[in-house]
Amino acid sequence: MVRLPIEQVSSERQRGTMRRLQLGPETIDVLSYRHAFHAGNFADVIKHIVLIEILSHLCRKDTSFDYIDTHGGAGLFALDAAETARLQEYKSGFVRLMGRDEPELIPYLSAVRSVNPPAALENYPGSPLIAAQWLRPQDRGWVCELHPADHQALQKCMQPYPRVSVSCEDGFAALNARLPPRSRRAAVLIDPPYEIKTDYDRVVDVLIAAHNKFATGIYALWYPVVDRARIERMEQRLINSGIRDIQRVELGVAPDTTAHGMTASGMIVINPPWTLLDTMRPLLPVLAQCLAGELGHSRCDVLVDE
């Protein structure tokens, strides 16, 4: 059973983001966050470019690997759907990169084109669908999504990919059960919505526990910069954890602020591909300029050496 502290449950219900879900004999509280409202935005751009770099690196060896996604979402987002069309964040995200010819962008743009008709733009792929395109016959995927409607959509989206298993469960708990993988190689994507403030601490706890259980996996932790102090605490906890080989890649579209809204987004990667910094360092300034002009900013650095 998934339980939230009483004060947090009360707060989320007042904001209208909490719903009750019956799973057999259990009743749980889940959040109503829907990624469709934000599909294809600048945060997706940086997350999916880094994810593709990780998957590409793993595919350079013939030996199998596992892909584990703790918060899969719906898998595929129709750009004319009510949720996506409401904010149209994709127009200030990946749409601004269409037509670019930087070599580092080609795999990402190809992934988006692969889910669209020729010469048309109708859909944007989520992380599970992008990853499924990279999985080979010897590889396996494990994707979790707790939101009932998104889980149903994700199951449908993954039907053409029998190597991907989809489950309706808490991704944090499921990660522990999936480690260590039989393949002894894995890419783990952890990208919760952070609607509950304790998620900023929980993701670090989960990541440290996962690394203790399976130290050689590649772990990619997505984070939103809404409150910079929270991200700095996350980073410091990871730096103090004793885990080695941690890199950070971040893309910003506005200066940090105490006002409401996400101004930047990034990925913290443990055991990153040796190519990650070389790929992202020249690309990030291009992304920042294309997506935000003079307000754009980025960082690409090492938090902890090997």
Residues labelled as active-site residues:
191
Q: Are 44 and 91 in contact (CB under 8 A)?
A: no
CB atoms within 10 A of CB 300: 20
How many degrees, rounded to 5, is the angle at CA 56 between CA 50 and CA 61?
140
Helix 276-292, helix 42-58: angle, nearest 10: 160
Dihedral sign, CA of 191, 224, 220, 46? positive
Give the closest residue to 299 by CA, choosing from 266, 272, 273.
266
Measured CA to CA, the distance from residue 16 to residue 36 in angstroms comes to 17
Give the closest residue to 246 by CA, choosing from 266, 224, 230, 264.
266
**Residue 157 φ then ψ, to 5°:** -65, -35
**Residue 18 φ then ψ, to 5°:** -105, 140
Give the closest residue to 270 by CA, choosing from 193, 175, 188, 182.
188
